[in-house]
Amino acid sequence: MKIDGKAIAQHILDDLTKRIHTLKERGVTPHLVIILVGNDPASEAYVKQKVLKGETIGAKVTVTRFPINIHQYELLATIKQYNNDNNVHALIVQQPLPAHIDVAAITQATDPKKDVDGFHKDSPFSMPLANAVVKILEEVYKSKTGQVESTFEKWLASQNIVVMGKGKTGGGPVISKLQNMHIEPRVIDSKTENPKKVMKEADIVVATVGKIGVITPDMLKKDVVLVGVGMSKGEDGKLYPDYDETAVEDIADWYTPVPGGVGPVNVAMLLENVVTAAQKQA
């Protein structure tokens, strides 16, 4: 069954709209600044949704664009400017960044209290993507069992979870989030021996590679829960997950589509951090 990420996200956004209304009564409008370097299609898609949903709930969202050949010192200067702007409550530098940019230097330059992406070592925020994956699995659990959230973590710990890919903006945050919940997922990367066997044993697969067709139906156990984080652009210009949705729909018990799967929930979780940041700074 297809997981409706838009519906999950809408519940979160409805709550955030109420919280922003309360903040505005105090004269505070949450303000998110997004720094976007280059024109990566996946990044463009996510930024577009962040702006749309942010404005829908009553937040202010500013996008600052730079060409792909920007010098690092320019980027750092812009971050410093926004760090010092009390009217900006949240700041993110959209990843991936070009190869000539030191990602660690950029993420650590952001004021931790404004780091709603959760990349800074001292950030008080959890990474939205990881939160989104767990939120989706929680909704699957409630739909499958009719049980309340209080028993979710026990169920999740009983599942054989496989995370395919461990990149800093995809699999890495998901792995860390699960480990913080005292759950140790199995990780598939380029060094994994017999990855198909590992995948075939999984009750839950979180796919974060970003390569069309990297997961095929023969790799999946019947009734698996398939969460597609990674996505890439097809020859038709559309974005696709790491698997063919049509091919897996009769195998997977639940799966996320692209668009309308993880993406909307990721955006909603980011905006939750934005609103929380504004509340703390107010």
Dihedral (Cα; 15, 18, 20, 26), 10-degree rounding: -150
pLDDT in tens, 25-52: 999 999 999 999 998 887 888 899 999 9
My answer on whether 144 and 252 are in the same domain is yes
Boundary residue ending a domain (113, 137, 153): 113
Q: Are residues 102 and 146 in the same domain?
A: no
Q: Which of 48, 85, 89 is nearest to 65 (CA)?
A: 48
Whether 96 shows a pLDDT value over 90: the answer reads no
- 3-state class (DSSP) for residue 6: helix
Domain endpoint, select from 60, 88, 113: 113
Is the pTM above the cut of 0.85? yes
pLDDT per position as a tens digit, 7-24: 999 999 999 999 999 999
The parent domain of residue 46 ranges over 26-113
Mean pLDDT of the chain: 94
Number of independent structural domains in the chain: 2
**Tokens 């999946």 label which residue?**
220
Q: What SS3 state is found at 267? A: helix
Whether the CB-CB separation of 72 and 266 falls below 8 Å is answered with no
* Same domain, residue pair 101 and 176: no
Q: How far apart are the first and last CA of the chain?
A: 42
Average pLDDT over residues 190-206: 94
pLDDT at 264: 93
Q: Which residue has the higher pLDDT, 36 or 240?
A: 36
Place of tokens 């990881």: 130
The pLDDT tens digits of the residues spanning 120-168 come to 999 999 999 999 999 999 999 998 888 766 789 999 999 999 999 998 8
CA distance 170 to 184: 16
What pLDDT, on a 0 to 100 scale, did the predictor assign at position 257?
95
Regarding whether 142 and 51 lie in a shared domain, the answer is no
For residues 78 and 161, state if they share a domain. no
pLDDT for position 42: 74
Q: Is residue 37 part of a domain?
A: yes
Q: Has residue 271 been placed in a domain?
A: no
Write the CB contacts of 84 (distance below 8 Å, at least 6 apart in sequence): none
Same domain, 133 and 67: no
Q: Which of 49, 84, 113 is the last residue of a domain?
A: 113
Place of tokens 């698996």: 224
Residue 41 counted as domain residue: yes
